[in-house]
Amino acid sequence: MTYLEMPLGEIATKVPGATAVLFSHKINFCCNGDMTLKAIMDKKGLNADDIIPTIEALASRGGAVQDWSQVDNKGIIEHILTRYHQVHREQLTELIRLADRVETVHGSNELCPTSLADHLINVRRELEQHMQKEEMMLFPMLLEGHSSIVTGPISVMMSDHEHHIEHIEKIYALTNDLSLHPEACNTWRALYLGLQEFISDINMHIHIENNILFARAINKEVIEPTGAVGIMSEDDIKEAEPEGVCCGACS
């Protein structure tokens, strides 16, 4: 299979450094994990020559990429909580402070990202609600092995993720694609640098949830209370489905 035919989630998982290349071309690999690289490039009008050689060079260079298939759900969830949930809370607090400061001081500059602070406050509120749903409901269900009843909550979380990406699009629109004014002050520079980091992190965060943790549960893998993972047989699946509850596959 060529990289053009490969799903984005697979490229992001298998090629060290590929996520940065996809990110630099604003290719949403987290919520479009099942879409092939060709499909998204056609949709966005991107040129394969600008992307494929770089992906191929990264793949041939090798290097370290986290093999999540070797990590149990407990390990993945701990990583999500410490590397992303906690970090997003810190990032947004500081970004809101910086955006407010830039708007107060440079509001008359036509390149000033007006209303960015208000938008980031909305982002923080929605992201906080989303992360609390994962922390208090979905992640405990995954850790306790309720594999037959997580499909609904997972689809709600994936829908939330699409909203997060729409929020990111609005950040790009408000900041003129994070283009800095030539004489931008250090606070303005720190704001755009911080936004770049936040956007990169939230892409990886959603990618790990959608394309690894949630995909694992949707594919009917057994999640033991210890976090260990194994594949369910068809008979096991029938036995695990509570009576009278449709898995949704027949509709």
Positions touching Fe ion (CB under 5 A) are 134, 209
Q: How far is the CB of 208 from Fe ion (least distance, A)?
A: 8
Taking CA atoms, 242 is separated from 97, 149, 229, 236, 245, in Å, by: 49, 9, 21, 12, 6
- Which residue, 78 or 100, is less far from Fe ion as judged by CB? 78
Taking CA atoms, 22 is separated from 64, 165, 175, in Å, by: 18, 15, 20
- Which residue, 39 or 158, is less far from Fe ion as judged by CB? 158
Q: How far is the CB of 125 from Fe ion (least distance, A)?
A: 15
Q: How far is the CB of 183 from Fe ion (least distance, A)?
A: 38
Residue whose C-alpha is closest to residue 59's, from 17, 2, 114, 7? 17
- Which residue, 106 or 207, is less far from Fe ion as judged by CB? 207
How does DSSP classify residue 135?
Answer: I
Amino acid at 17: G
Two tokens, residue 87: 């970090």
Q: Are the CB atoms for 179 and 195 separated by under 8 Å?
A: no
Q: How far is the CB of 214 from Fe ion (least distance, A)?
A: 9
How does DSSP classify residue 227?
Answer: S
In this structure, the number of other CB atoms found within 10 A of the CB of residue 39 comes to: 15
Two tokens, residue 120: 């980031």
- Which residue, 19 or 175, is less far from Fe ion as judged by CB? 19
Q: How far is the CB of 90 from Fe ion (least distance, A)?
A: 15
- Which residue, 103 or 134, is less far from Fe ion as judged by CB? 134
Distance CA 205, CA 30 (A): 8
Q: How far is the CB of 161 from Fe ion (least distance, A)?
A: 6
Q: Are the CB atoms for 207 and 33 separated by under 8 Å?
A: yes
- Which residue, 165 or 180, is less far from Fe ion as judged by CB? 165
